[in-house]
Amino acid sequence: MKNFIRIGALVLISIILSTAISIKPDGFFLSTIFTVSGIMFSIGIGLIVTFNITGVKNKDYVILIRKNLSEIRNSFIFYFSLSVLSYILDKYLRDKCFEMTNLNIIGFQLQLNWPILFFVIMFYSIIYFIVNFLNIQKLNNDIFDKVNEL
């Protein structure tokens, strides 16, 4: 449910940006952002898969760590899937020359520039990946400190 609220917020931000500014990301820019997202996803999944809890003896703590890591893994997969879908839709809509949707909401004329929406989604995913890298590093440090009682 939280993910759908976040996606709704991203759509709202995209509508505001599309209406307020006339800049639109080109295909090369979105391709670059998608490449960065793919690299970060690969690194994140690699960190999660190779995460080492060898020194942890407390069974409850091991279960908690595994649960947290699987939640992070699932979120990584969700946001990367969203980036992939955004990238594919961008390519498809550009080929069809369909990049802008005009909206009339309660008498207000708004616009949704699809490339801006796709950029916002991919950029949010990258920020999400960075935050989770930091969380994984913190978890690793916390485990080390707890195991070695620092």
pLDDT per residue over 81-117, tens digit each?
Answer: 999 999 999 999 988 888 777 777 777 788 888 999 9
pTM for the model stands at 0.86
What pLDDT, on a 0 to 100 scale, did the predictor assign at position 2? 85
* Phi, psi at 111, each rounded to 5°: -130, 150
Query: Which range of residues forms the domain containing residue 42?
Result: 2-148
Q: How far apart are CA 137 and CA 72, in angstroms?
A: 13
- Residue 150 pLDDT exceeds 80: no
**Which residues, including other chains, have CB under 8 Å from residue 66's CB and lie 6 or more apart?**
53
Q: Which residue has the tokens 């550009």?
A: 94
Residue 145's H or E segment, with its range, is: helix 114-148
pLDDT per residue over 34-91, tens digit each?
Answer: 999 999 999 999 999 998 888 788 888 889 899 989 999 999 999 999 999 999 999 9
How many independent structural domains does the chain possess? Answer: 1
